[in-house]
Structure 1
Amino acid sequence: MDTRPWLLLPLLLVLGVVLSYAVLSIPDPAQELPTMLTDNMTISGAHNPVSAVLLNFRGYDTLLEMGVLLAALLGVWSLDEMPTYRGSAPDQILDIMSRQLIPVFILVAGYLVWAGADAPGGAFQAGALLGAAGVLLRLCGWRVNNRYSGLPLRVLLVLGLAMFVMVGTGALLIGSEFLRYPPTVASELMLIIESAATLSIGATLAALFLGGRPKGEE
């Protein structure tokens, strides 16, 4: 008789107890946080409170999210090379649709980055659109060329995380705190970070769809 399923029961019980304790220990939400956010919007570099929180007041969270996304891709790449793709040429409908949609995806992604400081949008939404464009290109038979599957692709993948770190380090060098932007240039720095993060997120999502390390197909 296989006893392995029974060994999982105590582990699941312990996990359930730990999670229950964590949920019951959550402190009450601080009532003054919305007021603090409203009072400090003028120095955040953004008019959209979501962007102000994600890129300024709690920039550490977004920095770690970029790191987690990159780590997920490295985990996939560590398993194997991407499987050989033997698909046939796309049919006429898919080919026409991709030619019409991909430019729209790119334009809308650029708009979301630009509008993110004042309205709903931002790097993750724009990056998701770029990733979808990459997936659609792959489905249409596009291959990763040797010239782009090596160093250029890797630079693009780490660009967003590296830009976060460089801007944060620059803040330290001028005597401020890590990821605490000077109010006079906060909006410009946030736009630079979001632009770099958009490219990295789009490339990472498209690379995850490949299912392994690119082999640099011609």
Structure 2
Amino acid sequence: MRRSVGTCAVAGVCLAFVITLALAVLDVAETPAQVDLPGLLSESMGKSGVEHPVTAVLLNFRSYDTLLEIGVLVIAGIAGISVSRTTSLEDPELRTTDTLLYALQRWFVPLMLVLAGYLLWAGADRPGGAFQAGAVLAATGVMMRLGGIPMDFLRPGTLLRLGLALGFAVFLLIALASAIGGGAFLAYPPAVAKQLIVLIETVLTLSIAMVLLALFVSAPVNRAEEPGEGESP
């Protein structure tokens, strides 16, 4: 009886949410656009601190959305680690003995690190930024992890917690500092806007890479699909 009541309550909440969302979408669709967003963006680029419009939108004009996205990503990383079967994040079954991979590591790891740094720096005036750089950095970590390179910072402890939360924490502190200083939430002073955006993107790169890499190494290994004895992995 209690289960059926709970199911009906959840269904009612979901139905109310769907109706509210549908009404909001219809209201937006019927409201004519009265703001020239591209023109407004072009006029405000001088105050953004960067030269690329996408970076200006994501890290300045609509930085609140990006802050929430990072928060969701951090929560996903923490949840993935929490349900992991490999509590030490050092499952030896994630490693491979492929000699080709070992040879590629010597060339690819340095190149991918340089590429991640370039994507981070290029985001100010061309396509790139923290998300792209973080993904490349995480892929570098995956290659290193598969090759058996020790990665002590992935063990549960201070370094792992710091890496997961650093980007979101710095982003939020800058937002609060701007509000306490008398400005709007996440409104950077124009004189230091570029420096603050570069700082945010740098720590976000590290946190995004850490979250993606931690999700990879904490993913459960499917024992049923492991190769049999004598077979190559």
**TM-score (normalizing by structure 2):** 0.78
Counterpart for residue 161 of structure 1? 168
1:207 pairs with 2:218: no
In the TM superposition, what are the counterparts of 1:130-169 in structure 2 within 5 Å? 130-145=137-152, 149-169=156-176
List per-residue Cα deviations over 1:63-116 (Å, max 9, x = no partner). Answer: 011101001011112213427323665222111112211111111111111110
1:129 pairs with 2:133: no
Counterpart for residue 3 of structure 1? none
Q: In 1, distance between residues paired with 2:152 and 2:197?
A: 32
Following superposition, the deviation at residue 29 of structure 1 comes to 4.8
Counterpart for residue 73 of structure 1? 77
SS at match of 1:160: helix
Q: In 1, distance between residues paired with 2:49 and 2:193?
A: 5
Following superposition, the deviation at residue 153 of structure 1 comes to 1.8
The partner residue of 2:104 within 97, 107, 124 is 97
Q: In 2, distance between residues paired with 1:106 and 1:192?
A: 18
Q: In 2, distance between residues paired with 1:131 and 1:209?
A: 9
Q: CA distance change for structure 1 residues 78 and 184 in 2, over 3 Å: closer, same or farther? A: same
List per-residue Cα deviations over 1:123-171 (Å, max 9, x = no partner). Answer: 0000000110111111112344379641012111111101101111221
List per-residue Cα deviations over 1:7-63 (Å, max 9, x = no partner). Answer: 9xxx7x969x75765654443555411111111000000110000000000000110
Unaligned runs of 5+ in 1: 1-6, 214-218
Q: In 1, distance between residues paired with 2:85 and 2:202?
A: 29
Q: CA distance change for structure 1 residues 128 and 88 in 2, over 3 Å: closer, same or farther? A: closer
Q: CA distance change for structure 1 residues 58 and 146 in 2, over 3 Å: closer, same or farther? A: closer
1:119 pairs with 2:123: no
1:32 pairs with 2:36: yes
Query: How big is the alpha-carbon RMSD for the aligned residues of Structure 1 and Structure 2?
Result: 2.9
CA contact (8 A) 2:130 2:204 kept: yes
Percent identical residues: 43
1:45 pairs with 2:52: no
Q: CA distance change for structure 1 residues 14 and 110 in 2, over 3 Å: closer, same or farther? A: same
**TM-score (normalizing by structure 1):** 0.83
Q: CA distance change for structure 1 residues 207 and 147 in 2, over 3 Å: closer, same or farther? A: closer
Higher RCO structure, 1 or 2 (CA under 8 Å, sep 6+):
1
Select between 71-80 and 194-203 the one with higher mean Cα deviation: 71-80
Q: Which letter does structure 2 place at the counterpart of 1:206? A: L
Q: Which letter does structure 1 place at the counterpart of 2:110? A: P
Counterpart for residue 184 of structure 2? 177
Unaligned runs of 5+ in 2: 1-6, 221-233
Select between 33-42 and 91-100 the one with higher mean Cα deviation: 91-100
Select between 101-110 and 192-201 the one with higher mean Cα deviation: 101-110
Q: In 2, distance between residues paired with 1:132 and 1:105?
A: 8
Q: CA distance change for structure 1 residues 172 and 20 in 2, over 3 Å: closer, same or farther? A: closer
Matched pairs, number: 206
Q: In 1, distance between residues paired with 2:153 and 2:116?
A: 26
Q: CA distance change for structure 1 residues 74 and 121 in 2, over 3 Å: closer, same or farther? A: same
